Structure 1
Amino acid sequence: MLLTYQFKLNPTPEQVVILETWGELLRRHWNYALGERLDWLRRTRSQIDRCSLVSEPIGEIPDKPDYYTQASNLKQTKELFADYKNIYADCQQQNLMRLDKAWKRWLIPDKKGKRGGKPRFKKRGDISSFTFPRVNSLKAGAHLTGNILKLSKIGEIEVILHRPIPDGFEIKQATILNKADGWYVSFSLEDKTVPELLPIDEIKTATGIDVGLEKFLTTAEGQSIEVPQYYRKAQSTLARQQRKLARKVKGSKNYCKQANKVALTHLHVARQRKEFHYQVAHWLVNSYDLIVFENLNIRGLARTRLGKSILDVAWGAFLQIMEAVAVRRGKHTTGVDPRGTSINCSSCGERVEKTLSVRVHSCSCGLVIDRDWNSALNLLKRGSVGLPIPGCGGLDVSQPVKQQVSYVNLRCSRYTACS
């Protein structure tokens, strides 16, 4: 299993200039390589007797560009532009690999028939990271010794190791990236001690989670977590910073300073949200052996009038974090179809039609519970079919038919167990 540990760097002013120069040169090379691919595509996408001579250039059609042909041209690039000789060769190759992956995601659909967006030309500052694919090996361009990271053609940079790299982990690659508050390095670590998944017959606790906007999630036991709304709370501060930015002369030093303040606000919100996701994920994985969630079309839901709130809670990012935490603990997660989970009664199975504004599920069988709780119970039913889990068939007859959802107050660290 590959893990990513990110640490803050403390480069000198001279090294900052070199890092920024590398990003700019790699951006130009990305744009040139992308232009080659798009030029070939425009010339070969229609039959030769039907090609428009007005919108398309005429002449000899170039060979199809791919990663290997463009990587072989790096030597010629360094002869024409001497600045590229100062960039470590593996970083330039990794830059072309990124473009090749983006190109294939756009043209070649995946197993589900979906494709990625069209690769775009990068503006100044868009490429703010580059990768050293080998670390601490014989021909590696990056070597980590203690808290000193030695990069080829850049020099030694101090790394602020706020947590130690575990023993037995092998550093596979290092990515240098620029954020609003400075430079960072992300180490890709290979962990060969990942525990095996818990056997199915040993699963003792299971739950279903229903995510929402009124409550971040509700479990099948009736526990709920409130939505923190980090972006909503920061909107007034962000609007004030953006108004100040609009009054600055674009491209001036004051404009750049104010733009960095706006970026810092966004970065703070993103870090708050990520920390919250890790806290909830660790709490769930510590409490249950099996977690059943709903496979939502989050991209489609984000296009509705509730798009801002949906993107603020970031269900997709949370589910990815929860699945990664579960794998490291040897726990199970599974996604099920969410259709009908909030309409069907978890006790008798009867359909109880209700609008989105109705937050209480009231069935003719006498069951009156929170709408999200009812949905979580249905999710648990669907995800635990065939599993030897007691008490997963909805509410027991001995339980009262009117209950209230209890809220969980999370106060835990990302790396410690939640109570």
Structure 2
Amino acid sequence: MPQIKRKYPEYKWVYSKVLQMVLRNLDGNYKSFFALWKNGDASARPPNYKGKNYFTTLCYNQSGFALESYTISFSHNHPSKTKLDFDISHYPLKKEAQRIKQVEIFTKKDKWFTSITYEIQEPEYEDNGKYQAIDLGILNIVSAVNLDGKFIQIKNRRADLYWKKKLKEVQSKRDHCKKYSRRWKKYHQKFCKMKTKCANQLKDFQHKVSKQVVENTKANTIIVGDLGVKTMARKKKPTTSSRQNKAHRTLNHSLQNTGSVGRFVQFLTYKAQKMGKRVIRIDESYTTQTCAKCGKRVKRELSERDITCDCGHRMDRDLNSAINIMVKVLNSDELSHQPSLKEESFLCKWKGFSTIHSPKICPPANA
């Protein structure tokens, strides 16, 4: 670092720990790339070179900043001596905030943000013997079942479908303009604004659903099926069936544009931790293809929304998957406290509900 500062004196303007954090992040990115590459991930790419117009996130780790009332100030050595302050009165720190661990400054869509990471005291997890299994999906963002055989199903809000046509119209107008011209910049700004609004709507919906799930369940242990979205979204080899090729394209679009499933699990996890609950991720392979009643496995197309088996079992495929996830975790060693409820008695409980039409969106209820 001292050699770089001698060669490029402008680096002295930046707080020293910020530069160290940039190098640590770069080192972590390269290690992640090589790890993925060694594991045979063909989509892995090394960190790209960033031009002079690219703003690197500034990370202040435990020092270099001061918090006074509702203003956070950052230190720097720029000759202009301009104050680098952020007003956080609209989002004050919570009373339970203890020690600030890290503060970041970053830009997104021509707007500036600061991210504050601080410690809070979380309640300890206690296994109360109640569990809820959740199957995550595209059509239904949450399909859940608990040990009492109660179902909860929440439809996914497809804000991306609403904005898709509007974004294409603006993008088409922008592409017909000379790049970086006044009209091009006008449409590009409008395009970015619409895309940001779409992303914010998806994120807001995930926040609301994850909060609803955590607050309205008596279970202290929430089991979530691990979708493996990265593997599902990989480009598949084209087949002779145009219908199947279209289904693959639709699946990839839905996976990439309905909001990150991994992000939803993160929201669910940290909200559960704040309430003294625990989220367990379990492999959900074949849970959709397997009949929850007799265990027979049949490969099914994505268009088949109901499971119909030779044993007479008929159920929504997402709820069927949630039941299989619950049975899978009951038969594993994932739980610290194994409930006295065995697989057979659990199947008898939900068996009585299989004849009832599953609700499209279940109102908030203690499940």
Q: Would the TM-score normalized by the shorter structure come out above 0.5?
A: yes
Distance 1:259 1:346, change over 3 A: same
Amino acid across the alignment from 2:179 = K
Post-superposition Cα deviations, 1:237-286, rounded to whole Å, max 9, x if no partner, equal 21122123223332345433432322222221121111111112122222
Q: Is the 8 A contact 1:338 1:379 kept in 2?
A: yes
Residue of structure 2 equivalent to 1:292: 223
Amino acid across the alignment from 2:189 = N
Q: Which has the larger radius of gyration?
A: 1
Amino acid across the alignment from 2:355 = K
Inter-partner Cα distance in structure 1 for 2:93 and 2:366: 23
Quote how far apart the aligned CAs of 1:145 are: 0.8
Residue of structure 1 equivalent to 2:243: none
Post-superposition Cα deviations, 1:347-366, rounded to whole Å, max 9, x if no partner, equal 23233554332222223433
Q: Is the 8 A contact 2:71 2:87 kept in 1?
A: yes
1:358 alignment partner, one of 295, 298, 304? 304
Inter-partner Cα distance in structure 1 for 2:325 and 2:204: 26
Residue of structure 1 equivalent to 2:256: 311
State yes or no: 1:74 paired with 2:20.
no
Q: Is the 8 A contact 1:131 1:173 kept in 2?
A: yes
1:406 alignment partner, one of 344, 350, 359? 359
Inter-partner Cα distance in structure 1 for 2:213 and 2:177: 47
Residue of structure 1 equivalent to 2:133: 208
Distance 1:249 1:377, change over 3 A: same
Residue of structure 2 equivalent to 1:186: 115
State yes or no: 1:87 paired with 2:14.
yes
Post-superposition Cα deviations, 1:279-332, rounded to whole Å, max 9, x if no partner, equal 121222221322222222211211242211111222222112212222222212
State yes or no: 1:382 paired with 2:345.
no
Residue of structure 2 equivalent to 1:3: none
Residue of structure 2 equivalent to 1:280: 209
Amino acid across the alignment from 1:345 = C
SS at match of 2:347: coil
Of residues 156-165 and 322-331 in structure 1, the stretch that sits farther from structure 2 once superposed is 156-165
Quote how far apart the aligned CAs of 1:181 are: 5.5
Quote how far apart the aligned CAs of 1:114 are: 6.7
Distance 1:400 1:246, change over 3 A: closer
Amino acid across the alignment from 1:336 = I
Residue of structure 2 equivalent to 1:145: 68
State yes or no: 1:268 paired with 2:197.
yes
User: What aligned pairs does 1:5-84 form with structure 2 within 5 A after superposition?
Assistant: 71-77=1-7, 81-84=8-11
1:336 alignment partner, one of 248, 267, 282? 282
SS at match of 1:344: coil
Quote how far apart the aligned CAs of 1:186 are: 0.4
Residue of structure 1 equivalent to 2:90: 162
Q: Is the 8 A contact 1:369 1:403 kept in 2?
A: no
Inter-partner Cα distance in structure 2 for 1:384 and 1:374: 16
User: What TM-score comes out, normalization by structure 2 length?
Assistant: 0.80
Inter-partner Cα distance in structure 2 for 1:365 and 1:98: 55
Q: Is the 8 A contact 1:131 1:175 kept in 2?
A: yes
User: What aligned pairs does 1:96-175 form with structure 2 within 5 A after superposition?
Assistant: 96-108=23-35, 117-134=45-62, 140-153=63-76, 154-167=82-95, 168-175=97-104
Quote how far apart the aligned CAs of 1:341 are: 1.3
Inter-partner Cα distance in structure 2 for 1:397 and 1:245: 54
Q: Is the 8 A contact 2:5 2:11 kept in 1?
A: no
> How many correspondences in the alignment?
332
Amino acid across the alignment from 1:150 = S
Inter-partner Cα distance in structure 2 for 1:109 and 1:246: 36
Amino acid across the alignment from 1:374 = N
Amino acid across the alignment from 2:325 = L
SS at match of 1:406: coil
Inter-partner Cα distance in structure 1 for 2:174 and 2:331: 55
Amino acid across the alignment from 2:100 = I
Q: Is the 8 A contact 1:346 1:374 kept in 2?
A: yes
Inter-partner Cα distance in structure 1 for 2:366 and 2:181: 48
1:322 alignment partner, one of 268, 284, 292? 268
Quote how far apart the aligned CAs of 1:104 are: 1.8
Distance 1:146 1:401, change over 3 A: closer
Inter-partner Cα distance in structure 2 for 1:399 and 1:418: 19
Gaps of at least 5 residues in structure 1 are: 1-70, 135-139, 412-416
Quote how far apart the aligned CAs of 1:377 are: 0.6
Inter-partner Cα distance in structure 1 for 2:198 and 2:363: 18
SS at match of 1:262: helix
Post-superposition Cα deviations, 1:137-186, rounded to whole Å, max 9, x if no partner, equal xxx32112112222223415241432321234211221111122521110
Post-superposition Cα deviations, 1:91-112, rounded to whole Å, max 9, x if no partner, equal 2222222211112222246998
Q: Is the 8 A contact 1:334 1:383 kept in 2?
A: no
Inter-partner Cα distance in structure 2 for 1:405 and 1:318: 23
